[in-house]
Structure 1
Amino acid sequence: MGWTTEDMPDQQGRIALVTGANSGLGLETTRALISRGCTVLMACRSARKGEAARSQLLGSGAAGLDLLELDLSDLTSVARCAREVAERYGRLDLLINNAGLMAPPRMLSRQGYELQFAVNHLGHFALTKALLPLMDDRPQARVVTVTSGAQYFGVMAWDDLQGEQRYDRWKAYSQSKLANVMFALELNQRLQASGSAVRSLAAHPGLARTNLQPVSVAATGAWQEALAYRLMDPLFQSAAQGALPQLYAATASEAQGGEHYGPSQLGGLRGAPKQQPVARAAKDQNLRQRLWTVSESLTEHHSAAV
C-alpha cells in the first residue's frame, strides 16, 4: 500500500506556503495539508484562479487558507510576496516550491531571463532565500523543492543558460528541473553548515495528470506530443497521487534533509513515495556551488530583506 495522506502527522499550528497552489499538485498538496490542520498560504500567479481554488476548498469545509499573489517570473513580485508573509504572519514552517512551467516556446521573464529557468528555478531560489529567516526557529521547518524525472536528462548550459544562442524547449525544461534538485541539495548543505535546523529536500511526482501537459501542447500546437500523452495515458497517476512524494518530504518524520523522493514503481513513474536517486550532476558539489553563485548574481538586485 505504501504511505498515503492518512499517514501524515498532525499539522495543527503550522503554516505552509505552497507555490502554484490553485491547480494540479499544488492544489492537492494544499488540500492534504489543511486536512491535517495546517494553515496554507496559497501563492498563485492568478488571483482569480487562486480565489476559485480557495473557494472550492472552503466549500468542502476547509479552514486556514490565505491567498497571496506571486508571479515567479517577476522577481519584484517575489520580493513583495515574501514581505507580505513576514508582515502578516512573521513565521513559516513549510515552504513547498511547487509551481512550474513545462516546455513553452521561448519567452522571457520580467527581468529578461528565459521563462522556464526564471519560473522553475530563479523565482523559487529568490523566494526561498527571502523566507528562510521566518523559518529559523520553527521546529521541523522544511523547504521542499519539486523537480521532475526530466532532471535525469538535464544539462546545465553554463555558456547559454538563457537559451539565447540555441533554444530547445525540452532541454530548457530539463535544465530547470536539474537546477531544482541541485538547489535543494546545495541549500541543505549550506543550512547544515550554518547550524540552522531548517532542512531542504526535493521531490518529484512521476507521471502525474496535471494542467502542465495540456498547457504545453496548447502553447506549441505540437500534435505529436498530444498523441504521445494519449498513448501514455494508462501510465499517468492522479495529481493527488503525484503530490504524495512532496507531502512525504514535507511532513514525514523519517524524511531527512538532503533527501529526494519520488514514486516507487515503474522506474519512478507512479506509486507510493520512496527515496530516489538524484541526477548525477546534482551530486557534484562544484556544479551546485556554481549554480548558486550564478543564481545569486541574477537575483541579487531584487532580493527581499524580510
Structure 2
Amino acid sequence: MSSPQLPFPDPEKIFTSWWPIIIGVTVGIFYAARQWLRGAQFVEEVKLEGKVVIITGGNSGIGNAAALYMARRGAKVIIACRDEARGQEAANEMKTLHKQEVTVMKCDLGSFKSIREFVEAFKKKEKKLDILINNAGVMMSPQTLTEEKFEMQFGVNYLGTFLLTELLLDVLKASGSSRIVNTSAAASNLGEINFDDINMTEDYSPGQAYAQSKLAVNLYSLHLARRLKDTKVIVNVTNPGIVNSNGHRHLPFKNNSFLRVSFSPIVWFVMKTPADGAQTTLLLACSKSIDGVSGKYYKDCTLSELTGKSLDEELQEKLYKESVKWTGLQKKTQ
C-alpha cells in the first residue's frame, strides 16, 4: 500500500512565510550595524575610591558620561565648566537620578583669567589630582575670539587646555601615578599651525580652524609626554569619534530646526551616544592596561597611529615655546 502523498505547498503561503525571515534578517543587520557604529566598550572593572578627578566640560555630553561613570566608582569628581549654573543642574540631576554627587567649579577655557582662578581655587581645596580629563571644546564655530583675542576654537580647544594643564602639573606630579587625557579628532590630520596668522583673520574657515586646534592638541600631548617621561604622570590622546553631543551645536543639523527633525533618524543611527563616545576616554583615565603608557593616541579603545605633522618634534617644540608666550607662562623645565 503506497503512502499518501502530501499536498503540494501553496506558493502564496510560502511567500507569506518569508516575511518573518526577511524582517528578522533586516533587523539583525540593522542592529549589528548600529552596534558596530557604537564603537568598542570599556568593560574593565575599576575602583576609584580616593581618586580626585577634574573633567572639563563635564556638564554635558561625553564629559558628563565620564563624570557619572567615575563618580559611581567612588572618585571625587570635579566638573570644570564655563556655565556654573548649567553645571550645577547637571550635578543635581546626577544626584537625583543616580545618587551620585559631584562638585562644580567655574572654568572658562576661553579666558586665561578664569583658568587661573579655577586652578587657584582648586589647589586651596585639594592637595592632589589623580586624573585630568581635558574634554571641553568647541567645533566649527563662527569667527569669534576668546577674552585674550585668540580665535575661539584654537583658544578653547588648545590654548585653554595648554594653560590649565601646565598650571596643574605641580599637583599632578605630587600625586604619584596620575593621568592626563587630551581630546583630539580625525580632523587633526587636515590641520596646519599658521604661526603667522594664528587667528586666520585673512581667510577664516571654521573647518580649518578646528583642524588647527586639534593638531595643536596632538603636538602638545606628544611634547608633554616627553617632558614627563621621568615622572609618574602619563598623558595620552583620545579620539572619541563622531558623537551626538552639544559640541555640534554650530552645525546645520543641530541649529536648524527643520534639518534637526529631518536628520534625527540618521543622526541617531550614525552617531555615537555621549556614553559610547566616552569609552576611550574612560579607558585612558582608568584602565590598568595603560599603566606606564604615555604619548599615545587611542580610538575605539584601541591604540592607533598618529601620522604626519603630529609627529614633527621641531613643530612640537615651536608650538610649545609660542604657547608659553601666548598664555603668559614663564618658561621653565618641567
Aligned to 2:129: 92
Q: What do residues 11-69 of structure 1 show as CA deviations (whole Å, max 9, x unaligned)?
A: 11000000000000100110111111111000011011101100011113444511100
1:104: Cα distance to partner? Answer: 1.0
The question of 1:119 aligning with 2:186 is answered no
Residue 286 of structure 2: which of 241, 251, 258 is its match?
Answer: 251
Aligned to 2:297: 260
Distance 1:61 1:238, change over 3 A: closer
1:5: Cα distance to partner? Answer: 4.5
Q: What do residues 232-289 of structure 1 show as CA deviations (whole Å, max 9, x unaligned)?
A: 65321111011111111111112211111112xxxxxxxxx11112242111111111
Distance 1:122 1:56, change over 3 A: same
Q: In structure 2, what is the Cα distance between the partners aligned to 1:104 and 1:35?
A: 34
Aligned to 2:24: none
Aligned to 2:233: 198
In structure 1, the residue corresponding to 2:228 is in which secondary structure?
Answer: helix
Q: What do residues 201-225 of structure 1 show as CA deviations (whole Å, max 9, x unaligned)?
A: 1001111111122344389869999
Contact 1:8 1:36 in 2 (8 A): no
Aligned to 1:290: 318
Greater shift after overlay, 5-14 or 249-258?
A: 5-14
Runs of 5+ unmatched residues, structure 1? 264-272
Greater shift after overlay, 35-44 or 274-283?
A: 274-283
1:163: Cα distance to partner? Answer: 1.1
The question of 1:10 aligning with 2:72 is answered no
Contact 2:179 2:235 in 1 (8 A): yes
Q: In structure 2, what is the Cα distance between the partners aligned to 1:242 and 1:40?
A: 19
Distance 1:30 1:197, change over 3 A: same
Contact 1:105 1:220 in 2 (8 A): no
Aligned to 2:213: 176
Aligned to 2:140: 103
Contact 2:236 2:284 in 1 (8 A): yes
Contact 1:217 1:223 in 2 (8 A): no
- The number of equivalent residue pairs is 292
- Among all aligned residue pairs of Structure 1 and Structure 2, give the percentage whose two residues are the same amino acid: 26
Greater shift after overlay, 13-22 or 177-186?
A: 177-186
User: Structure 1 residue runs of 4+, over 4 Å off?
Assistant: 218-233
Q: In structure 2, what is the Cα distance between the partners aligned to 1:277 and 1:229?
A: 33
Q: In structure 1, what is the Cα distance between the partners aligned to 2:219 and 2:328?
A: 19
Distance 1:210 1:189, change over 3 A: same
Q: How do residues 110-189 of structure 1 correspond to structure 2 at under 5 angstroms?
A: 110-189=147-226
| Paired amino acid for 1:152 | N
Q: TM-score, with normalisation over the residues of structure 1?
A: 0.88
Q: What do residues 164-215 of structure 1 show as CA deviations (whole Å, max 9, x unaligned)?
A: 22110110001101111111111111111xx221111100111111112234
Q: In structure 2, what is the Cα distance between the partners aligned to 1:295 and 1:230?
A: 42
In structure 2, the residue corresponding to 1:159 is in which secondary structure?
Answer: helix
Runs of 5+ unmatched residues, structure 2? 1-34
**Structure ID, larger Rg:** 2
Cα RMSD (Å): 2.5
Aligned to 1:268: none
